[in-house]
Amino acid sequence: MLQEGDRVLLAVSGGVDSMVLASLFLESKIDFGIAHVNYHLRDKDSDQDQLLVENWCKKHDITFHLRDVRPEEYEIGESIQMVARTIRYDFFASLKTDLGYSKIATAHNANDNLETVLLNMTKGTGIFGLTGIAPILDSHIIRPMLFASKEDVYEYAKSKEISWREDVSNAKNDYQRNRIRNIVIPELKKINPNLEDTFQDTLDRIKGVAAITESEVSEHAIDDYETYQELKIDWVANDLRSLTLLSELLKPFGMSYKSSKDLQEAILNQKVGAMFESSSHQINLDRNSLIISPIVREPNEHFYLTEETGERSVTYGKLYWKKLAGKNLPKQIAKNEAYFDFDRIQWPLMVRHWEQGDVFQPFGMSGKKKVSDFMIDSKIPVTLKQQVLILESGNDIMWLIGHRTGDRFKVTSETKAMLKIELLPDA
C-alpha cells in the first residue's frame, strides 16, 4: 500500500477505528497528517469528537486539518449521508492536491467489509459487488485495517489505552447499514460464531472468481468509432456464462442485469433491429454486433452555411468547409469529407437531420433513391440512422454527411473551383 517517501493523510473521526489507525501510524514512523470533518449533526458530541482528535494531534505534534460543515451545505436535495460523503472525500482530495499528500488512508475494518457485502447482496448485485471494499482504490486511497475485525480493534484500543469516542447514532436502526450491523449480523453469528473469519475466506474465493470474470471480459473488445461503439456478439450462447459476460460488458453503459438478460434473448432469437435503452445509452441489435451510442438529448440540428469558408459545431463533432481552386481531387477521399463543384451550389447551404420522404441521387447512380432505402441498403444500424445529417443546396441533397454525396454536385472535367467540407469528431 505504501512506498518509501509516501506522505499519508489519515481520515480520523474520533471513533475507535480511526483512533487506532492514527496510533498505528504514529508507531510506524510514517509521515502523516490528519483530516477531520465536523458535520455538526450531533450537537455538542460533534464538537467533542473534534476536540479529541485535535488534542491528540497537538500532543503528538501531528498536522491537523479541519473541515467545518455549514448547515446550508445539506440543503441540496440529497440525503445527509450522501452530502456528508461528498464533502468528506472532496475535502480529502483537495488536501492531497494542495498539500502534497500521496495517499489517503481510511479506517475500514473487516466488519465494514461484511456489512457492505451483505447490503449489496440484499439490494441485488453482480460478482464485483460481492468482493467488498477494495484495499486500494484509484491507487491512492488505502484501507490498511481491513484485516482486523471490530472485536480486534476494540481489544487493541483497550490494551494500548487509546482514547476514542462512541457515535451513539450507530446504535440506532434508522439507516440500512445499522440494521445490518445491529440486527442481521448478530443473528448470523448465532449460526456461525466465527462469521468474520469464514467470511474472509469466502471473500477471497469470490475475489478469485471476479478476477477470472474480469479476465474473460477483457477478451471481448468493444471497438470505438467516432460517434458509437461496437461489440461483436458471435460468442453469445444460451448459458449463464454468456449472460454474466454480457452484463459486465454493458454495465458501463448503464444496462441493468435484467436488460442484459432481455438483450441476450433477443440475440439468440435473432431479433435484428431490436433497441434497448439505459439512462445514458441506446443499444441496437445489428446483424453480427451491438451498436452502442450515447443518447443525445439536444434539439435537432438545423442551420445554414452562408460563407465560402468556415466552421460550425454539431452534436457529434465539427464541420469545416472552404473553397478550393481547380478540380484536382485527392487520390483517396475519406468517408468524413466530400468535394463539390462550387459553381453548381446554391447558397446558403442547409444542414439538418434527414426526414422520412427525403430523396436524393447518390453519386454514381442515374436515378433517385429514398434516403431511408439508401441507409437500409448500406446497412446503417438504427441507432446511427438517428445521427445522420444532410447537407442541402436549394431543395437538393448534396451529401448524406459521412456516407454519400449527391451526383448532381460532383466534380467534373468542367469544374473550375471546389467546395471541400469535412466532419471531424470532437477531440
| Tens digit of each residue's pLDDT (9 = 90 or more) over 255-279 | 989 999 999 999 999 999 898 988 7
Strands 8-11 and 103-105: parallel
**What pLDDT does 54 receive?**
97
Q: What tens digit of pLDDT does each residue of 98-151 get?
A: 999 999 999 999 999 999 999 999 988 888 889 999 999 999 999 999 999 999
**What pLDDT does 299 receive?**
47
Over 70: is that where the pLDDT of 383 sits? no
Helix and strand totals (H; E) in the chain: 12, 22
**What pLDDT does 303 receive?**
85
Across 343-360, b (16+ Cβ under 10 Å) vs e yields ebbeeebbbebbeeebeb
- Between 12-16, 85-89, 310-314, 394-398, the lowest mean confidence (pLDDT) is in 310-314
Nearest residue to 157 via CA among 169, 170, 148: 148
Are residues 226 and 426 in contact, defined by beta-carbon separation less than 8 angstroms?
Answer: no
Over 90: is that where the pLDDT of 49 sits? yes
The pLDDT-based confidence of 306 (bands split at 50, 70, 90) is confident
Name residue, grid cell 439512462: 279
**What pLDDT does 39 receive?**
93
Domain spans of the chain?
8-206, 222-294, 302-424
Strands 310-314 and 369-370: unpaired
HSE, CB side, 13 Å, CA atoms: give it for residue 33.
16
Which of the pair, 380 or 292, is modelled with greater confidence? Answer: 292
Q: Give percent above pLDDT 70 in the chain.
A: 98
Over 90: is that where the pLDDT of 79 sits? no
Q: What is the mean pLDDT of residues 63-90?
A: 88
Over 70: is that where the pLDDT of 300 sits? no
**What pLDDT does 314 receive?**
81
| Mean pLDDT over the full length of the chain | 90
Over 70: is that where the pLDDT of 418 sits? yes
CATH architecture of 8-206: 3-Layer(aba) Sandwich (3.40)
CATH architecture of 302-424: 3-Layer(bba) Sandwich (3.50)
Over 90: is that where the pLDDT of 353 sits? no
**What pLDDT does 82 receive?**
86
The pLDDT-based confidence of 340 (bands split at 50, 70, 90) is very high
Over 70: is that where the pLDDT of 427 sits? no
Over 80: is that where the pLDDT of 85 sits? yes
Largest CA distance in the chain: 96
Q: What tens digit of pLDDT does each residue of 216-254 get?
A: 999 998 998 877 899 999 999 999 999 999 999 999 998
- Between 196-205, 236-245, 293-302, 355-364, the lowest mean confidence (pLDDT) is in 293-302
Q: Give percent above pLDDT 90 in the chain.
A: 63
325, 326, 327, 371, 408 from 416: Cα distances, Å:
7, 5, 6, 29, 16
Over 50: is that where the pLDDT of 21 sits? yes
Over 80: is that where the pLDDT of 296 sits? no
Cβ-proximal residues to 71 (8 Å cutoff; 6+ apart), any chain: 40
Q: What tens digit of pLDDT does each residue of 172-226 get?
A: 777 788 899 999 999 999 999 999 889 999 999 999 999 999 999 999 989 988 7
Q: What is the mean pLDDT of residues 79-92?
A: 90
